[in-house]
Structure 1
Amino acid sequence: MRVVARQRSTASLRALPWIGPVLILIAAIVAFPAGYMLWTSTRDLSAYGQDRGPAGFANFRRLFAIDELGSILVHTVVWVLAVVVITLVASAALAQFLNQDFPGRTAVRLAILVPWAASVVMTTTIFEYMLDPDVGIANRFLVDIGVLDRGFGFTKQAGPAFLVAIGVAVFVSIPFTTYTILAGLQSIPGEIDEAGRVDGASSWQRYLYLTLPQLRPAMAVATIINIINSFNSLPILQVLTGSIAGFSADTTTTLTFKLIRQNQQVATAASMSVLNFGLILVIIAIYVKLIRPAGEEAR
C-alpha cells in the first residue's frame, strides 16, 4: 500500500508542471471570486459599497427576514424547472427532426441559430413590445380576431409576465440545446437503430430504449448548462418583470439586483449572492449524482 501511495504521489508531482497553469487559472477565475464573495457577505457595506467593518451574520439575518423570500425561492425553482424541462423536450424533438435528410436542411439549421446569436436583451425587448397592451402587434392581432376585447397587459402583471419570461427563456435556449443534442445524435452509430429495426422495434421503442440512452452525455451537458444559465438569468426577467412592484415575480437573481439598485442594500445583496452560489452547487451536485452511470458508482 505504501509503495502504491508513493507511486501515486510521484505521478502527481510529475503532472504538476502540466496541470499547474490550469490550477492557477481555476484559482484566479473561480476560487478567488467565490472566496471574495463569501468574505464580502460578512462585511458591513454602505449603499455605495464602502466597507465599514465586519458584520458577522447580520447580512444573512436581514436576508432571511424578507417576508417574500420563501415565495421567491419557489419562483426560482419553478423558473429553472420549467425552462430546463421545456427546453430539453422541445430541443430533443427539433434535433431529431434536423437529423433527418430533407431539402433545405442546412438553411433550417442556420435559422435555428438566430435566437442564440441575437442579444438576449434585444430579443426580450421585442417580445415586450409585441405584447404591449396598447401598441403591441400580438395584442392587436388577438383583438382583431376576437380573442380579446381590448389589449391585455401580459407583462404588466406578475403571473402572466412570469409565464412570458419562461417562454422567452425557452426560445433563446433552444438553439444551443438543439445543437448539443444533434451532435449527440450524429455520434450514434447507425447500426444501433438498424438492429432495433430488424428486431421489430417501433420508432418510439427504438428512440426510447436505443437512442435516448446514447444521448445521456449530451443531455447531461445541455441540462447543466441550461440550469446554470436559467438560474443566473437576469436580462429576461429584468426586462419583462423588473417594473412590477414588490417581489411577486422575482427569482433569487432578480432579488439580488433589486436589493442593490432599488433598496441600496449592497451587503444584503452580497449574502443573497452567497445563497445563490450555494443553491446552484447543490442543484448541480444532485443532478450529477442522479445521472451518474451505475458503473461509476462502484469505483
Structure 2
Amino acid sequence: MKAQNVQKGSKTNRGGIRFSDWNNYLFLLPALVFMAIFIIYPIFYNAVLSFKDVNVYNLNGKQNFVGFDNYIKTFKDQVFYIAAKNSVIFTVVSIFFQFVIGFALALLFNSKFPGRNLFRSLMLLAWMLPVVITGTVFQWMMSGDYGVINYFLQSIGLIDQPINWLSEGNTALLGTIIANIWIGIPFNMIILLSGLQTLPEQLYEAAKLDGANRLLQFKHITLPLMRPTILVLLMLGIINTFKVFDLIFIMTAGGPVTSSTVLPIYAYQLSFSMFDFSHGASVSMIMFVLLILVAIVYLKMSNKEEAH
C-alpha cells in the first residue's frame, strides 16, 4: 500500500524519503549556472560582437550590424594568414616532440628501476610551474648577451657568435616552440604512463614465449592497445596548444614584427592594441570553429575505435 501511494514521477530511498525526478536536476543547477555565465554567454556575446562594428569610439554608443564584413576583412588581411601559418607550425611541431619525448619517458618510467618515483616527480615540475615563470626563465636562457643556451652552444663549438633567439625573425617562433615543448612533455608522459600501466602483462608474457622482441611487442601490442589514449591525448594537445597565448606573449609578444604572431596573439592585438573589438571577435570565432572541427574529427575517430 505504501508503494502505491508514492506519486508518479517520484521515488523513495531506503529511508523512505521521497525525491521528485525534477529535484535530481537541482544538483546540476550550480554547474549549469556556471557554464551559462562563464562559457555559453561569452561565446554567444563574442559571436554577436563579430557581426557588429564595435571599436573604442562607439563602445558605449550605437553599434551597427555589419554582417560578415569583419570576417571578410579578416580573410583579406595578410597578417591573418601569417598568424594562421605560425599557429599550425607551433601546434604541429610542439605536439610532435611533446608526444614522442613524452612516450619515450613513459616507457622508461613504466619499467622498474631505483629512484623511479623520484625522477617521475621531478619531471612534473615543468608542468606545475606557472607559465609566467617558465616564459621568463626561457626568455633569460635565450638572451643574446648572457643566455645559457648561447653559452653552451659556443662552449661546444656549434656557434661562433651569440644568437638573439627571441629578437630575430628566423628564430623567435622556434624559441617559443622549445619552451612549449618543455612545458607539455610531463603532461604527455603522465597520460601515456597511466595508459601503459593498464595494459595486461599476460599479453607481453605470451609474446615473449612466441619470440617477439621489444620492438615487435611495442608495434603489435602497445600501440594498438594505447590507441584510444593516444587519440584523447592528441586532441587535448591540439586544443591546448592551438590556443596558447600567455607563453608567447611573455616571451616575444608576437614579435619581432609578426614572426611569432599566432592567432590568439593576433586576436588580442586587434582587440586591445588596435581597439577593433569586432575584428578581434571574428578571429576568435574562426579559432573556435576550427577547434570544434578538431573535436568532431576526434569523435568520429573515437566512434570507429569503439566499433572495432
Task: Give the structure-1-normalised TM-score.
Answer: 0.87
* Equivalent AA in structure 1 for residue 62 of structure 2: R
Structure 1 CA distance for aligned equivalents of residues 60 and 216 of structure 2? 62
- Give the counterpart of 2:47 among 38, 51, 55: 38
Determine whether 1:124 maps to 2:148: no
Report the 3-state secondary structure (helix = DSSP H, G, I; strand = E; otherwise coil) of the residue aligned with 2:171.
Answer: helix
Gaps (5+ residues) in structure 2?
Answer: 1-19
Aligned equivalent of 2:268: 257
Report the 3-state secondary structure (helix = DSSP H, G, I; strand = E; otherwise coil) of the residue aligned with 2:145.
Answer: coil
- Give the counterpart of 1:241 among 241, 249, 252: 252
Aligned equivalent of 2:4: none
Mean Cα displacement is larger for which, 150-159 or 95-104? 150-159
- Give the counterpart of 1:67 among 69, 78, 97: 78
Determine whether 1:203 maps to 2:214: yes
- Give the counterpart of 2:184 among 173, 196, 209: 173
TM-superposed CA distance for 1:200, in Å, is 1.6
Which whole-Å deviations, capped at 9, do the CAs of 1:81-126 have from their partners, x for residues lacking one?
1111221111111101001100001110110110011011211211
Alpha-carbon contact 1:44-1:51 (below 8 Å) kept: no
Alpha-carbon contact 2:95-2:234 (below 8 Å) kept: yes
Gaps (5+ residues) in structure 1?
Answer: 1-12
Determine whether 1:57 maps to 2:91: no
Structure 2 CA distance for partners of 1:15 and 1:183, relative to 1, 3 Å: farther
Task: State the identity %.
Answer: 26
Structure 2 CA distance for aligned equivalents of residues 224 and 243 of structure 1? 25
* Equivalent AA in structure 2 for residue 210 of structure 1: I
Q: Which has the larger radius of gyration?
A: 2
Aligned equivalent of 1:293: 304
* Equivalent AA in structure 1 for residue 219 of structure 2: L
Count of aligned pairs: 285
Alpha-carbon contact 1:46-1:52 (below 8 Å) kept: no
Structure 2 CA distance for partners of 1:295 and 1:41, relative to 1, 3 Å: same
TM-superposed CA distance for 1:243, in Å, is 5.8
* Equivalent AA in structure 2 for residue 31 of structure 1: I
Richer in helix (by share): 1
Report the 3-state secondary structure (helix = DSSP H, G, I; strand = E; otherwise coil) of the residue aligned with 1:33.
Answer: helix
Aligned equivalent of 1:275: 286
Alpha-carbon contact 1:159-1:249 (below 8 Å) kept: no
Structure 2 CA distance for partners of 1:105 and 1:294, relative to 1, 3 Å: closer
Task: Give the structure-2-normalised TM-score.
Answer: 0.84
Structure 1 CA distance for aligned equivalents of residues 272 and 123 of structure 2? 35
Structure 2 CA distance for aligned equivalents of residues 201 and 51 of structure 1? 73
Report the 3-state secondary structure (helix = DSSP H, G, I; strand = E; otherwise coil) of the residue aligned with 2:167.
Answer: coil
Structure 1 CA distance for aligned equivalents of residues 36 and 254 of structure 2? 38
TM-superposed CA distance for 1:171, in Å, is 0.7
Alpha-carbon contact 1:43-1:52 (below 8 Å) kept: no
Aligned equivalent of 1:158: 169
Structure 2 CA distance for aligned equivalents of residues 144 and 51 of structure 1? 61
Structure 2 CA distance for partners of 1:248 and 1:14, relative to 1, 3 Å: same
Alpha-carbon contact 2:46-2:285 (below 8 Å) kept: yes
Alpha-carbon contact 2:168-2:256 (below 8 Å) kept: no
TM-superposed CA distance for 1:33, in Å, is 2.3
TM-superposed CA distance for 1:20, in Å, is 5.4
Alpha-carbon contact 2:176-2:247 (below 8 Å) kept: yes
